[in-house]
Amino acid sequence: DSACQKRDWKHHKQYCNDNPDTHGPSYETIKSYDYRFMDGFLSFALVKLKVQKRFGHLSSDDFRKEWLEVACAYFVHVYLVAVKNPPPGRFNRVRFHSVRLASTHLFKQPIRDSIHGHLNVRFPAFTIGYSIVSGDINVGEDFVDIYPPPTKVEAFIHKIPYPFPPTPDLDPFDILKIIALHELQSRESAAASSPWQKNKHHE
Q: What is the pLDDT of residue 41?
A: 96
pTM equals 0.80
3-state SS string for 121-138: HCCCEEEEEEEECCCCCC
Q: What is the pLDDT of residue 15?
A: 44
Q: What is the pLDDT of residue 163?
A: 85
Q: What is the pLDDT of residue 145?
A: 56
**pLDDT tens-digit readout, 163-200:** 887 766 788 999 999 999 999 999 999 988 866 554 44
Q: Is residue 58 part of a domain?
A: yes
- Please tell me the total count of domains within the chain: 1
- The torsion defined by the Cα of 77, 185, 89 and 107, in degrees rounded to 10, comes to 0
* Low-confidence spans in the chain with pLDDT less than 70: 1-25, 135-149, 167-168, 194-203
Q: Are 80 and 131 contacting, i.e. CB atoms less than 8 angstroms apart?
A: yes
Question: What residue type is 1 in one-letter code?
Answer: D
Q: What is the pLDDT of residue 40?
A: 95
Tell me the angle at which helices 172-193 and 27-48 cross, rounded to the nearest 10 degrees: 150
Q: What is the pLDDT of residue 144?
A: 53
Q: Is residue 193 part of a domain?
A: yes
Q: What is the pLDDT of residue 146?
A: 60
Q: Is residue 1 part of a domain?
A: no
Q: Is residue 24 part of a domain?
A: yes
Q: What is the pLDDT of residue 26?
A: 86
Q: Is residue 51 part of a domain?
A: yes
Q: Please give the helix or strand (H or E) that residue 158 lies within, else none.
A: strand 154-159
Which domain covers residue 177, as residue numbers?
6-202
